[in-house]
Every structure is written in C-alpha cells, then in structure tokens.
Amino acid sequence: MTASQPTFFRRLTASKLFWPLVALALMLLFNLVFTKGFFHIQIKDGHLYGSLIDILNRAAPLMLIVIGMTLVIATSGIDISVGAVVAISGALVAMMIGGTLVLKGGVQEYVTLVPMPLAILAALGAATLVGLWNGLMVSRVGMQPIVATLILLMAGRGVAQLITNGQIITIYYKPYFFVGNGFLLGIPFSLYIVLAVLLFTLYFTRRTALGLFIESIGINPKASRMAGINAKNLLLCVYAFCALCAGIAGLIVCSNVKSADGNNAGMYFELDAILAVVLGGTSTAGGKFYLIGSIIGALIIQTLTTTIYSIGVPPEITLVVKALVVFVVMLFQSESFRKVVFNRFGGKVGQS
C-alpha cells in the first residue's frame, strides 16, 4: 500500500490537469470559508440558482472562446481578435433581429426583421469569415499570428461599430433571450451550447487525426511538412473555427445583456482566453494541448472574478488582486518553480 502511494501521487501530479484543478479547488475552498452560502443551490421555478450555477453560466462565453483558442495556441499561433469577433457577431445578430419595441394595445409584440435562425446563421457566418481571413493571413501570406489577428482586433471592433452605427442596439425580441438566459431541464441553456461545442471539438481532435496534426505542426512545423502534413489548410481551418467559437460566444453575450454594444462587448476576452489556455496547461509555444484544462482555466478566471465581487474587494484594487492570484497559480504551473519549492521543503516530490 505504502509502496504504491508515491507512484500514484506522482502520476496524479504529473497529469496536466492536476495543478489547474488544485487551483480551482483552493479557490472554491476559500469561498467555502469566507463567502456565505456560496455552495447553496436552490430550485426556483424548476431552475437551479446559486453562485456555482452563476459562475458556470457567466463563464459560458469564455469557455467557448477558450476551446477555439486552445487549438490556435496548439499550432503555436495566437488569436487576439476573438473579442472583436464577439462584438461583430453580437452586432450583426442584434441588427438583423431588430431593435424596435412594438406595442399592440399595451402588450409587447415580438417582431423580428429577419427570422431568428437566419440572423444567427448570418452572425456565425460573418464570424467564420473573419476567422478565414485570419487564417489566410497566417497560412498563406505568412504573417505572424499576433500581427495578423491584431489587424482584426482593431478593424473588427470598427466593423462592429459600423454595423450598430456606433449605438447600443437593444433587442426586444423575447425568444432570442433564451440563448443566454434560458433554462433547459433546470440548467442554463448556454451550458448546453458549451457542452455541444466541447464534445464536438473533443471528438474531432481525438477521434480523427486532427489533434495529432495540430500538435505536430505546433511542435515542429518543418518536420511536419516533411512528413506530408498540409499545414496551410489546417491552419486556415483552425483560425476559422476559433472565430466561429467566438461568434457563438458573441450570441450568448448579446443575449445575456439583451443588447449589442460594438464598443465594449467582448472587451479583453482575448486576454482572458489566452490566460485560461495557459492556466489549463497548454504551452504558448504550441504542441500538446488540453481542452479540458482550458475549460478549467476559464472556470478559474470566472470563479476568481465572482469571488472578488462577492467578498467585497474594493473596486480600485480588484485588478491587483486578480493579477496576484493569477501570478501565484502560474508560478505553481511552472515545473522549475515547483522543483525549487518542493526540493527545499519536501525533498521527495520534486525528484523524478
């Protein structure tokens, strides 16, 4: 029993998901002690309510973006235009569904300019187009990913503002609220979307050769080309998919707040997403990637935000607190740091 313990422990700590999970667990533990009723979940009108559900629901857009971002980062690229894509997608869907309040005899009537499915498809189509553009710049023109997507980080938000004419468009069409606020079988509908995209991506990366090729390109693009992998088309698809994920996130964000704000929707999402991917154990240098890890990373970030609000950290220092926590988590992700710490205090753990 005692003999098998270290190997089990080592196998556990060697898992890429171990440290992200520890970080998340510590954060939840902190809340268990300091935030009253944090773990309390109640059923209201057949819907689940509580801080945990709230965190999951609020993290939905980030989780979606993180799925796409993980693949992009695995190719040793980066996509900093996802926040702008969120804005474009939201603006387009709001524009097409329409923003006028129609009252008939004092009762609101739900009208759309364009049928809702069509509006959603158009928004997702536009997002994918943006992604294809990014992919084209990276794979065919040979631009550095950060530069290529920087263009759309700026221009994309401009396009979103053009679509909304610089105004905030309010959506009055109630069926659309379901996307971001609805419940299905007691659970927020947005979580079903996340789950669907996650399962889809897991399936395509792990049940086809896609994941292998992505990792291969991320680790050694030259050798991958020599092995006959068509990196160009693969990169194109990965960037398009990342933008599509951001487009879906845009639909949820827009539905959540029942409006589209070309100026602020999805602001700094790219940074949170990159952070989540890194927290989840995928290296920004590319290569091996961990989708579930990234999802945990997204949950860490959202839990942190919610915690900071619920324990009442003064707004002027929230960013500093957030930065400190992220810094500590990152330190523990670093293998060389862990070696130094554990060799000093434990001795046993750090040795391989």
Partner 1 sequence: MESGPAPILEMKGISLSFPGVKALSTIDFRLFPGEVHALMGQNGAGKSTLIKVLTGVYPPDQGVIELDHRAITPASPLEAQKLGISTVYQEVNLCPNLSVAENISIGREPMRMGRIDWKRLNEQARTALAKLNIHIDVTQTLSSYSVAIQQMVAIARALDVSAKILILDEPTSSLDEQEVELLFEVIRKLRDEGLAVLFVTHFLAQTYQLADRITVLRNGELVGETRAAELPRLKLIEQMIGREVSQESGSLAPAAQVAMDQAAPALVEAHDLGRKGSMTPFDLKIRKGEILGLAGLLGSGRTETARLLFGADKADHGSVKMGGRKLSLSSPRTALMNGIGFCPEDRKTDGIIADLTVRENIILALQAKRGIFRALSHKKQEEIAETYIRIIGIKTSGMEQPCGKLSGGNQQKVILARWLATDPQFLILDEPTRGIDVGAKAEIMDLVIQLCQKGLAILFIASELEEVVRCCTRVAVLRDRVKITELEGSAIDENAILHAIAGVQE
Q: Per rule CB under 8 A, is residue 225 in the interface with partner 1? A: yes
Q: Per rule CB under 8 A, is residue 199 in the interface with partner 1? A: no
Q: How many residues does the chain have?
A: 352
Contacts with partner 1: how many residues (CB under 8 A)? 21
CA distances from 294 to 27, 84, 120, 298 (A): 17, 21, 26, 6
> Count of CB atoms within 10 A of residue 5's CB?
9
Report, in Å, the least distance between residue 211 CB and partner 1: 10
Q: Do 62 and 270 touch, CB atoms closer than 8 A?
A: no
Question: What are the two backbone dihedrals, phi and then psi, of residue 184, each rounded to the nearest 5 degrees?
Answer: -130, 120
Q: Per rule CB under 8 A, is residue 229 in the interface with partner 1? A: yes
Q: Per rule CB under 8 A, is residue 208 in the interface with partner 1? A: yes
Per CB under 8 A, which region of 34-42, 123-131, 226-234, 339-347 contacts partner 1?
226-234
Residue 260 and residue 224: Cα distance in Å, rounded?
A: 42
Q: Convert residues 264-293 into a mask of x (bound to partner 1 by CB under 8 A) and - (unbound).
A: -----------------------xx-----
Q: Per rule CB under 8 A, is residue 240 in the interface with partner 1? A: no
Q: Do 91 and 164 touch, CB atoms closer than 8 A?
A: yes
Report, in Å, the least distance between residue 307 CB and partner 1: 35
Question: Can you read off the two tokens belonging to residue 131?
Answer: 């992604």
Q: Per rule CB under 8 A, is residue 13 in the interface with partner 1? A: no
Q: Which amino acid is at 340?
A: V
Q: Per rule CB under 8 A, is residue 36 in the interface with partner 1? A: no
Q: Per rule CB under 8 A, is residue 185 in the interface with partner 1? A: no
Nearer to partner 1, 60 or 74 (CB): 74
Per CB under 8 A, which region of 106-114, 134-142, 214-222, 322-330 contacts partner 1?
214-222
DSSP string, 274-341: HHHHHHTT--TT-SS--HHHHHHHHHHHHHHHHHHHHTT--GGGHHHHHHHHHHHHHHHH-HHHHHHH
Report, in Å, the least distance between residue 226 CB and partner 1: 5
Per CB under 8 A, which region of 124-132, 156-164, 178-186, 224-232 contacts partner 1?
224-232
Residue 73 and residue 277: Cα distance in Å, rounded?
A: 8
Nearer to partner 1, 213 or 269 (CB): 213
Binding site for partner 1 (CB under 8 A): 207-210, 212-213, 215-216, 219-220, 222-230, 287-288
